[in-house]
Amino acid sequence: MKIIDFEEFAQLESLIEKLKPYADIEVVAHAPGKEKSYPIYVIRMGSSTKNVPTIGYFSGVHGLERIGSKVLLSYLSTIIELMPWDHMLHSILKHIQFVFMPIVNPAGMYQQTRSNSNGIDLMRNAPIDSDIVRWYHVWGGHRVSKYLPWYRGKAGKPMEIEAQALCDVVKKYLLPSKVSLAVDLHSGFGKQDQLWFPYAHTRKPFPYIAQALELKKKLDQAYPFHVYRYEPQSIRYQSHGDLWDYLFYEHEKRAPEHFFMPLTLELGSWAWLKKSPKHIFSSLGIFNPMEEHRRQRTFRRHLVLFDFLTRAVVSHEKWVNLDKNKQQDLYRQALQLWGLTDE
């Protein structure tokens, strides 16, 4: 197997070799680069039973945001070390499946650009328009030029190969599951780590906002000193073309009887910049911790969350299947907590 010449991809391919006894490995697409194409890998572990609860992890949608991929690769390394001896992990994998897509945009990561090799921001590329992003909010997505960040691509064109590959993986593995969570890792916004659930394109309440609040309560109760700000994405960050908003609507069309909740884990890079302001002059430094000790701390920091989400998927009936009265009560609480209206 040829090792592609950047660190994260080399690490991914090395881990894939070690994962082969435990996982199904698939190349779902090849992303075109300026000099060569790059395979987009998906790793599936666990039960292959139809409709089994599923948790999917995605990262590297934006090529500059390498820390998200590094966090997932570190998590995969931990799983590899546990597999030979951890009976509990093997027991869990009999009841759920993991799906990993650690580098969605390999060409962008190789080129050190936010966009893919066509200059398109993959997280602005879905065919969905916002009702809250104004024309001058260019960071929310625009169609002016690929030479400006946050370019959505031309209207009416098919989604980019990488964006379509992510959507295809979600449609194949997550949407058919009776319960599924997606976790998409990003960085570059905020001074605190944030967990966002939909929507990004509108302030309308997410249909599963009651379950989202119940999950938040369980996280707060189990880990009262956790580091995350947990809320609807539209409160902090709004955009056109969000892939997860698009995929949730696909879920509603394809399998509304199932439960699918995408989460965005936004790593708060402003805290890193506060400690090392000089990195604001580096394109990578804005989005990633540059010192090794900060990277290692970031790798450790999210293992508790990943463990919690695994438990949440295994025990989904405790927070997904709400009776009518509790659902209505949580819905009212959520609207009040996050300042939303159901108009």
CB distance 70 to 8 below 8 Å: yes
Closest CA to 45 of 24, 28, 18, 20: 24
pLDDT in tens, the chain (343 residues): 343 468 999 999 999 999 999 999 999 999 999 888 999 999 999 999 989 999 999 999 999 999 999 999 999 999 999 999 999 999 999 999 999 999 999 999 999 999 999 999 999 999 999 999 998 899 999 999 999 999 999 999 999 999 999 999 999 999 999 999 999 999 876 678 999 999 999 999 999 999 999 999 999 999 999 999 999 999 998 999 999 999 999 999 999 999 999 999 998 655 555 555 655 545 665 666 655 666 667 667 789 999 999 999 999 999 999 999 999 999 999 999 999 998 6
- Residue 164 tokens read as 């379509």
Give me the residues paired with residue 57 across strands.
Answer: 100, 183
On whether residue 1 sits in a domain, the answer given is no
On whether residue 2 sits in a domain, the answer given is no
What is the per-residue pLDDT for 301?
A: 79
pTM of the predicted structure, to 2 decimals: 0.93
CB distance 179 to 312 below 8 Å: no
**CATH number of domain containing 276:** 3.40.630.10
Q: Could you count the other beta carbons within 10 Å of the beta carbon of residue 327?
A: 16
Q: Could you count the other beta carbons within 10 Å of the beta carbon of residue 286?
A: 17
9 contacts: CB under 8 Å, gap ≥ 6? 3, 38, 103, 106, 109, 110
Q: How far apart are CA 262 and CA 255, in angstroms?
A: 15
Pairing, β 37-46 against β 194-197? unpaired
188 residue type, one letter: G
On whether residue 118 sits in a domain, the answer given is yes
**DSSP element (H, E) containing 322:** none
What is the per-residue pLDDT for 135?
A: 87
Number of folded domains that form the chain: 1
DSSP code per residue over 129-184: --SS--TT-GGG-BSS-TTSTTB---TTSPPPHHHHHHHHHIIIIITTSSEEEEEE
155 residue type, one letter: A
- Residue 262 tokens read as 């995408």
For residue 207, the enclosing domain spans 7-338
On whether residue 343 sits in a domain, the answer given is no
Q: What ranges make up the beta strands (E) of the chain?
A: 24-32, 37-46, 54-58, 97-101, 179-187, 194-197, 229-232, 259-267
Q: How far apart are CA 326 and CA 159, in angstroms?
A: 39
